[in-house]
Amino acid sequence: MKISWGTGIVIAFGLFITFILYFVFTVQSDSKYDNELVVEEYYKHDAHFGDEMARVQNAADLAQKPTISSVSNGIEIVFPKVFDPKNIKGKVSLYRPSNKKLDFEIPISLSDATTLLIPKKSLAGGRWDINMEWQYDGKSYLTKETIYIN
């Protein structure tokens, strides 16, 4: 039986479409290929974007800014000595872009020291996006940083 050019092209298109659909269904059904949003309620989060930018600007306007750095035993957040540690309130949110299940938040609770340490045992290796939302003397601040843990 001889196959004409037209029949061959239709068979080739059919095989190609089957091939593409196979991979689409494989990626959608396999949990290894999670394609989650970074923020659950994206539009509600986007409505408060102006407030977020004001807090980021407040942090940028500081003469002495807190530093977020990776150290051997975890992530260290150091506030400048000009801040009274007892008056700093807020939270540190750690986001793992590759796996939402690893995301967590910790409150900022400083007693006398101006340093907050996030232990390395609670951090998987790789990229971490850190959002530190904090208040001092009635003013809100937002500091964003990306850290890589080895």
- 8: helix, strand or coil: helix
- Total domains, the chain: 2
Are 107 and 126 within one domain? yes
Phi-psi region of 137 (alpha: psi -120 to 50; beta: other; left: phi over 0): left
Q: Tell me, what's the pLDDT at 50? A: 86
Q: Among residues 150, 105, 129, 137, which one has the least CA distance to residue 38?
A: 129
What is the residue-level pLDDT of the chain in tens, covering all 150 positions? 788 999 999 999 999 999 999 999 888 887 676 666 566 676 777 777 888 899 999 999 999 999 999 888 889 999 988 888 888 999 999 998 888 888 899 999 887 788 888 888 888 888 999 999 999 988 999 999 999 988
The residue segments making up the domain with residue 25 are 1-35
In whole angstroms, what is the distance from residue 38 CA to residue 13 CA?
A: 36
Q: Which residues are CB-contacts of 34 (< 8 A; sequence separation ≥ 6)? A: 99, 100
Are 15 and 81 within one domain? no
Are 109 and 52 within one domain? yes
Are 24 and 65 within one domain? no
User: Is the pTM value of this prediction over 0.85?
Assistant: no
Query: What's the CATH number where 53 sits?
Result: 2.60.40.3760
Are 51 and 29 within one domain? no
Are 81 and 102 within one domain? yes
